[in-house]
Structure 1
Amino acid sequence: MKRMKTTEAVGQVLCHDITQIIPGVTKDAVFRKGHIIREEDIPVLLSVGKDSVYIWENDETMMHENDAAEVLYRMTANEHMHPSDVKEGKIEAIADTEGLLKVDREKLKKVNAFGEMMIATRHGNTVVKKGDKLAGTRIIPLVIKKDKMQEAEKICDGTPILKILPFTVKKAAIITTGNEVYHGRIKDAFTPVIEQKIAEFGAEMMFHEIFDDNDRKITDGCLRAIEAGADIVFCTGGMSVDPDDKTPLAIKNTGAEMISYGSPVLPGAMFLLSYYRKGDKVIPICGLPGCAMYNRRTIFDLVLPRLMAADPVTADELASLGEGGLCLNCKVCTFPNCGFGKGW
């Protein structure tokens, strides 16, 4: 690559895109990499501020920005994704399916700390839909040493930074608890909320029973739901610390592994997560606090996508939700396009 005065570059081959920016009208390349400069191109180049241009000279030790972007894309993207066209040295990863986006943060940080290159992604553990933009990649200079790109590839070691987990949990059980609902004193308003939210992930309720505050009955209901084929069990009601709230005890007595009773999220502090193992199958059993029934967004909205993608949630991950775990209850809710729950 060499630099030449624009007025002397007729017949030469451009080694990079030339971008024209007209505010409110366009931001696009007026000439693409590989364009052979003609006499009539000179005024256009000068009008976009290019008194000099970079002309391609073959150098086996260097890699052009477009080729480097291809390398960065391979380091970033996985199955269920496809690349955009290369434009001005940048390639974007586009989702081919709906699912849960996972980001290997350590690898992403190492690549971005390596110098002269960058990968920008969406937040991990968020829902993406087909056609969504997931990441953008490019190098910072126009050309980069090939051996540096080869060293960068070793960071990923054949395992890309991104992956999409399709939603696989389809059959849900709801165990409604509480004397007031069981005896018909109030209407069950919780179950319709859960049904609506799981339907967004292609799941449906296949088992539903209502119990009074009897922990043995609740335990039995959970186990019968699992025997009936439930992929996930939601228990509603009885999640506070009142002596007559027996749902946490009932879930524990199923034999499920208790991950956490309590979360650093408001609304949602009394959330319970456990996993019941039946052979090779792992079935989440969740205790949902009352806030999930009447608040627009709660811990339930943060955890549900991961449960629907069969992505195991750890106690440490739940603990990390403290930063960003305070919902501001905005008058106009923009979730998930806000900071709520982006801490894990």
Structure 2
Amino acid sequence: MEKIRVEDAVGAVLVHDMTQIIPGETKDARFRKGHVVQEEDIPVLLSMGKEHIYVWNQTPGLVHENEAAERLAKAVAGPGLTFSETKEGKVNLIAKHDGLIYASEKGILALNTLESIVLATLHNHRPVNKGQKIAGTRVVPLMIDEKVILEAEEIACNFNEPLLQIRPLQSYKIGIVTTGSEVFHGRIEDKFGPVLRAKAEKWGSNIIGQSYASDDVSMIQDKIREHIRNGAEMVFVTGGMSVDPDDVTPTAIRGLEVEMVTYGAPVLPGAMFLLAYYNGIPIMGLPGCVMYSRTTVFDLVATRILTGERLTRKDIAQYGHGGLCLECPECTYPHCPFGK
């Protein structure tokens, strides 16, 4: 710590908060601990009665907490992110647009194992809105050895993807095939269609058509093909997803010679979910819970596919940890553990 004249303090780092009192207006810290004194600060400090201030000795090889936080933020941030104002040695990462968080859990762990490095984020694949804070970074000491920052920057560069990014949901053309003889023959009203239309609209996609099929394998297959011929880039197939003998939807989808990802998911609600790819086009078999539960495995999977991600069986299996919905009286998703 060093005592110097205010006029000689440009570039120096304050070691404590400095309070400014303006009678009838304010009494608050005008300059915070760690602030780097600028030329324009000199008249303000003098007006506060400060002719001398205490600052950190400038030591080669040390980086101030503000600069360190800014360098960390830039090292981990990818597309879709911007930065808050640097304040008290901390920088927040902010979503530039709506979308899903894609976070490298291994990369975040690698950074946080470095001494004095702090990177705190929201969960991977969480939906976020433009302007939302998704992460914060800082270092613990006021001044940190630059070697640590350089190591952190190198770690971030060694990953194929940015450690943090926001991927927007793309607009897909979607077809719906609603199965079940009771709906096909008009004995009951379809309840699935309105739910799926509302979700697709919320996600920025378009339902280009909805067709109906009885519990007949060939008819279900024909309806799926028809939507694809009409330009569907994704198909939702509802109903007939359980293991009852007359529930033939999984059989129909498999019979299209699809690339089957999974029939079944370790998520409740949504255990009977099906995901397959037909000539690269995602086909989802949706269990009945999608119709009446506000959030299910469908919300977790469909949004990731809408970012352009191609999911694997392992991706679905990983939902088991955090895949239990507590079915709260008032749903607060995504502000809850579900799908995390």
Task: State the match for 1:311 in structure 2.
Answer: 309
Q: Give the deviation of 1:16 after TM superposition.
A: 5.7
Q: SS of the counterpart of 1:221?
A: helix
1:164 corresponds to which of 157, 163, 166: 166
Task: State the match for 1:295 in structure 2.
Answer: 293
Separation (CA, whole Å) in 2 of partners of 1:222 and 1:312: 20
Report the CA distance shift for 1:249/1:54 in structure 2 as closer, same or farther (over 3 A).
farther
Q: Give the deviation of 1:272 after TM superposition.
A: 0.4
Q: Give the deviation of 1:208 after TM superposition.
A: 1.3
Q: SS of the counterpart of 2:336?
A: coil
Report the CA distance shift for 1:18/1:81 in structure 2 as closer, same or farther (over 3 A).
same
1:339 corresponds to which of 328, 332, 337: 337
Aligned residues: 318
Q: Give the deviation of 1:30 after TM superposition.
A: 3.0
Q: SS of the counterpart of 1:260?
A: strand
Task: State the match for 1:119 in structure 2.
Answer: 119
Where structure 1 has 5 or more consecutive residues not aligned to the other structure, the ranges are 21-25, 43-52
> 1:28-43 maps to which residues of 2 (within 5 A)?
29-32=29-32, 33-35=35-37, 38=46, 40=48
Q: SS of the counterpart of 1:164?
A: strand
Report the CA distance shift for 1:170/1:117 in structure 2 as closer, same or farther (over 3 A).
same
> 1:175-190 maps to which residues of 2 (within 5 A)?
175-190=177-192
Task: State the match for 1:214 in structure 2.
Answer: 216
Matched-pair contact (CA < 8 Å) for 2:114–2:148:
no
Separation (CA, whole Å) in 2 of partners of 1:34 and 1:249: 68
Q: Give the deviation of 1:225 after TM superposition.
A: 1.2
> 1:189-228 maps to which residues of 2 (within 5 A)?
189-228=191-230
Matched-pair contact (CA < 8 Å) for 2:79–2:167:
no
Report the CA distance shift for 1:17/1:211 in structure 2 as closer, same or farther (over 3 A).
farther
Report the CA distance shift for 1:182/1:17 in structure 2 as closer, same or farther (over 3 A).
farther
Q: Give the deviation of 1:60 after TM superposition.
A: 2.4
What RMSD in Å do the two structures reach over aligned CA positions? 2.2
Q: Give the deviation of 1:15 after TM superposition.
A: 3.4
Q: 1:114-159, CA deviations, whole angstroms, 9 ceiling, x for partnerless residues?
A: 1111111111111111111121111111111112211111111164
Separation (CA, whole Å) in 2 of partners of 1:250 and 1:181: 18
Report the CA distance shift for 1:144/1:176 in structure 2 as closer, same or farther (over 3 A).
same
Task: State the match for 1:18 in structure 2.
Answer: 17
Matched-pair contact (CA < 8 Å) for 1:82–1:95:
yes
Report the CA distance shift for 1:340/1:54 in structure 2 as closer, same or farther (over 3 A).
farther
Q: Give the deviation of 1:41 after TM superposition.
A: 5.8
Separation (CA, whole Å) in 2 of partners of 1:193 and 1:320: 26
Identity among equivalent pairs (%): 43
Q: SS of the counterpart of 2:322?
A: coil
Q: 1:216-264, CA deviations, whole angstroms, 9 ceiling, x for partnerless residues?
A: 1111211221121111100000100011111001111222211110011
Q: 1:49-94, CA deviations, whole angstroms, 9 ceiling, x for partnerless residues?
A: xxxx861333221111111111101122112221111111111111
Task: State the match for 2:63 in structure 1.
Answer: 63
TM-score with structure 1 length normalisation? Answer: 0.86
Q: Give the deviation of 1:28 after TM superposition.
A: 7.7
Task: State the match for 1:272 in structure 2.
Answer: 274
Matched-pair contact (CA < 8 Å) for 1:126–1:305:
no
Separation (CA, whole Å) in 2 of partners of 1:17 and 1:80: 36
Report the CA distance shift for 1:9/1:128 in structure 2 as closer, same or farther (over 3 A).
same
Report the CA distance shift for 1:122/1:212 in structure 2 as closer, same or farther (over 3 A).
same
Matched-pair contact (CA < 8 Å) for 2:93–2:133:
yes
Where structure 2 has 5 or more consecutive residues not aligned to the other structure, the ranges are 20-25
Q: Give the deviation of 1:40 after TM superposition.
A: 4.1
Matched-pair contact (CA < 8 Å) for 2:171–2:206:
no
> 1:42-57 maps to which residues of 2 (within 5 A)?
55-57=55-57
Q: Give the deviation of 1:312 after TM superposition.
A: 1.8
Report the CA distance shift for 1:224/1:54 in structure 2 as closer, same or farther (over 3 A).
farther
Q: SS of the counterpart of 1:305?
A: helix
Matched-pair contact (CA < 8 Å) for 1:222–1:254:
no
Q: SS of the counterpart of 2:183?
A: helix
TM-score with structure 2 length normalisation? Answer: 0.87
Report the CA distance shift for 1:139/1:218 in structure 2 as closer, same or farther (over 3 A).
same
Task: State the match for 2:328 in structure 1.
Answer: 330
Separation (CA, whole Å) in 1 of partners of 2:275 and 2:17: 54
Q: Give the deviation of 1:173 after TM superposition.
A: 0.5
The question of 1:81 aligning with 2:81 is answered yes
Separation (CA, whole Å) in 2 of partners of 1:19 and 1:165: 42
Report the CA distance shift for 1:17/1:121 in structure 2 as closer, same or farther (over 3 A).
farther
Q: SS of the counterpart of 1:138?
A: strand
Q: SS of the counterpart of 2:30?
A: strand
Separation (CA, whole Å) in 2 of partners of 1:151 and 1:28: 37
Separation (CA, whole Å) in 2 of partners of 1:27 and 1:111: 38
Q: SS of the counterpart of 2:100?
A: strand
Matched-pair contact (CA < 8 Å) for 1:262–1:269:
yes
